[in-house]
Chain A
């Protein structure tokens, strides 16, 4: 084997080190990602990943749908399609959105994407120049932060309370950014059963947030993958239903059918949709016809609403198991949210406890979570974590929360020993230059 040597005689482990774009400089190996490699092992109770429980899917129904598709429309399913997506699927997507109050959607304004994640990527690509501001809730969806970072956006968080994004905080942030001369392009929000906090933006605040953004000329990106997973059975009205021109709605079948299909979509005002289609062409040429048609056929031939109902009940049971276990085991000073749908609970730890520093101890105790810092672009969230109840069955959830509580107690004891002396965090004064880092975490 021939190995290259640098002119200075060193042995390069990446000969292209000096060629990467600035936006890739933060894409480096991380200690926490290494810990998550352990968390994926079955020995660990993972309350970390947001993986839907696909074992609740009727696989025989999926198999027969796919078999019928290959038999009846195989030549279409295995051919290229358009960048906008299959028209029949787009029509069915409009029916799905009608369940959340969006009754005026036209298939022409729907762009099918590789999960809603690609819709977010395309939107950022067409709207955000380096240095532009994207507003998000604090905390927010971790992989959205990574997308914005990849386009060198400046992410600014707006605080939330139990009723969701705080309108006054949004106003103040916009005023401050305007004074700075910053260009605010998007408000990215997960208003319903938020990832990671499990919080839902109230109806009155939805109207207020839309009005603030309309006045400020900021496009609202409503990411709504969990909207149909309401534990009351009543879907929450989408923000897009009340502002067709000011909101791009992102949807997904990942949580209501199967993430492996990788079918999501954007519903956008017509001019925006046209740009997204052109951006999609350059990104992927065309979306998978096979998975699009499989989803379309599944929706057309299977009792999908019943399936969603079954998902809701399963996730509600798991949420209940986690809430009960938290109430029974958590030490004083810990608080948590009570989601009415979706996958996640946000656990705030007693003051001074660092969830990221505690993670290796938790992994050693065979339980995993995502530390809160992963959901902020600015280092906030140290004393918080996201807990997912979507994937493990209730008895595993109870077991995992018990283990977590024991770890937390040990961490509190450690903090009591050392925290009064910790005047400076050496990691915070690391003299090395800090490049924008791809988050240590990823999400499903």
Chain B
């Protein structure tokens, strides 16, 4: 056993990404246990808080995805209980999880991001959907991507090639969130760039290029093993790889993120790395890009998270 004390991995919960989170959590728990870290896994529910009070862990690693997992809620709760944890502060999570805020913040720091508009369902209801949709198409052009303002794993995300598809895409989106981010679709090389900070400042991991075999990087392509080809490092020239890495580190810094993050980008035909979104609790399943990037960097998932836990422990006691 290490001198970290008992590490609690929090996963599951009630978001649509529950199953993904549980798979991530189990993988991390098993990896940490293998290197001698005293690790428990807890599926977050109504019994969690009494358990945290009765038997507080020395360290928490939140591997919760989606709302309440990545929007800062669980970290606010951990702060209330005085429990140290790996990862970003609640305020930084809120800024990162909100795609509109993240795009504005990262864009203001000089990183390209596709033109977009973010609107609540009430706007369409109260002002009239037809003129708004017409205006969106006129302003942003086609094709578009409609996505919930917050959330992951491509839930509620639709590619819109024709104006007539936009209304249906918005309805699908509003099933998951009351706000829709409607973004100009960018064609190019889709990459995920992990950022790791074990105490010496944020460093980008090798970019993972995502190439779905059957089309879009949707839920099935993400979580069916084999349905997506991953190129590590991405098939980009060295300059573009440096640009992408710099964009991910910039996103991590300007959003005030801590310890780890994963930034999703598209490198467009002109060679610009376009920021799409950032994740404060990246997936750790067998088909997730974060563990792949660590491995490509010669790092071990368990050792990295043990070190992040040690850093968080020092931060808490300092």
Q: Residues 403-444 of chain A: 1 if any B CB is under 8 Å from the residue's CB, otherwise 0?
A: 000000000011101111111111101111100000000000
Complex interface bits, B192-227 against A, C-beta within 8 A gives 1, otherwise 0: 000000000000000000010111101110111111
The A interface is mostly helix, strand or loop, or mixed, namely: loop
Indicate if the CB atoms of B175 and A425 lie closer than 8 Å: no
Question: Shortest Cβ distance from A42 into chain B, in angstroms?
Answer: 8
Are B164 and A422 in contact (CB-based, < 8 A)? Answer: yes
Inter-chain contacts of A427 with B (CB < 8 A): 158, 168, 172
Contact A360 B155 (CB under 8 A): yes
Let me know if B168 and A422 touch, CB within 8 A: yes
How many angstroms from the CA of A158 to the CA of B125 in the assembled complex? 39
Is A380 part of the binding interface, using a Cβ–Cβ cutoff of 8 Å? no
Size class of the B contact interface (CB-based, 8 Å): 35 or more
A43 touches B45 (CB 8 A): yes
* Given A28-B224, A432-B215, also A13-B286 (CB < 8 A): yes
A34-B16, A41-B14 are contacts. A17–B226 as well, Cβ < 8 Å? yes
A68 to B45, CA, bound (A): 40
Which residue of A has the minimal Cβ distance to B156? Answer: A360
Give Cα distance in the complex from A43 to B286, angstroms: 28
Q: Does A29 contact B (CB under 8 A)?
A: yes
Query: Chain A contacts of B36 at CB under 8 A?
Result: none
Q: Quick one: given A10-B229, A34-B153, A422-B171, are A417 and B17 in contact (CB under 8 Å)?
A: no
Q: Which residue of A lies closest to B121 (CB)?
A: A414
Residues of the B chain whose Cβ atoms lie less than 8 Å from the Cβ of A329 = none
**Cβ-closest chain B residue relative to A41:** B14
Asked if A55 is at the interface of the complex by the 8 Å CB criterion, the answer is no
- Which B residues lie within 8 Å of A3 (CB)? 295
Whether B222 lies near A29 (C-beta < 8 A) is yes
B278 to chain A, nearest CB (A): 22
Contact assessment for B231 and A414 in the assembled complex, using a CB-CB cutoff below 8 Å: no
Inter-subunit contact A424/B168 (CB<8 Å) = yes
Q: Say whether B46 faces chain A, with CB atoms less than 8 Å apart.
A: yes
Please indicate the chain B residues that have their CB under 8 angstroms from the CB of A11 in the complex. 229-232, 292
Q: Which residue of A lies closest to B208 (CB)?
A: A11
Q: How far is the CA of A432 from the CA of B221 in the complex (A)?
A: 12
0/1 string, B144-165, CB within 8 A of A gives 1:
0000000001111011111011
> Which residues of B lie under 8 Å from residue A429 when comparing CB positions?
161-162, 165
CA A175 to CA B161, docked complex, whole Å: 40
* Closest A residue to B122 using CB positions: A417
Please indicate the chain A residues that have their CB under 8 angstroms from the CB of B227 in the complex: 17, 28-29
Report A1-30 residues with CB < 8 Å from chain B CB: 3, 6, 8-17, 28-30
Total interface residues in chain A, CB < 8 Å:
51
Closest CB of chain B to A391's CB: distance in Å? 19
Q: Chain B residues near A417 (CB, 8 Å)?
A: 121, 124-125, 129
Q: Which of A14, A17, A359, A421 contacts B130 (CB 8 A)?
A: A421
Chain A neighbourhood of B155, CB < 8 A: 31, 34, 360
A9 to B16, CA, bound (A): 33
A415: chain B residues within 8 A (beta carbon): 171
Are the CB atoms of A418 and B223 closer together than 8 Å? no
Across-interface contacts of A14 in B (CB, < 8 A): 224-226
User: Closest CB of chain A to B148's CB: distance in Å?
Assistant: 9
B297 within 8 Å of A (CB atoms): no
Chain A contacts for B214, CB-based, 8 A: 432-433
Residue of B nearest to A431 (CB): B215
Q: Does B170 contact A (CB under 8 A)?
A: yes
* Residue of A12, A43, A420, A426 touching B158 (CB-CB under 8 A): A426
Chain B, residues 12-42, CB within 8 Å of chain A (1/0): the string is 0011111110100000000000000000000
Residue A59 at the chain B interface, CB threshold 8 Å? no
Give chain A residues whose Cβ lies under 8 Å from the Cβ of B231. Answer: 9-11
Seed contacts A426-B160, A429-B161; 18 additional CB < 8 Å A-B pairs: A14-B225, A31-B218, A34-B17, A34-B20, A34-B219, A38-B18, A43-B45, A43-B46, A413-B125, A417-B129, A418-B168, A419-B171, A422-B167, A427-B158, A429-B162, A430-B215, A432-B214, A432-B216
Q: Which residues of A contact B (CB under 8 A)?
A: 3, 6, 8-17, 28-31, 33-35, 37-38, 41-44, 354, 357-361, 363, 413-415, 417-427, 429-433
Residues of B within 8 A of A (CB): 14-20, 22, 45-46, 121, 124-125, 129-130, 133, 153-156, 158-162, 164-172, 174-176, 211, 213-216, 218-220, 222-232, 286-287, 292, 295
Task: Give 7 closest A-B pairs by Cβ, nearest first.
Answer: A14-B226, A17-B226, A423-B164, A14-B225, A29-B223, A432-B215, A426-B165
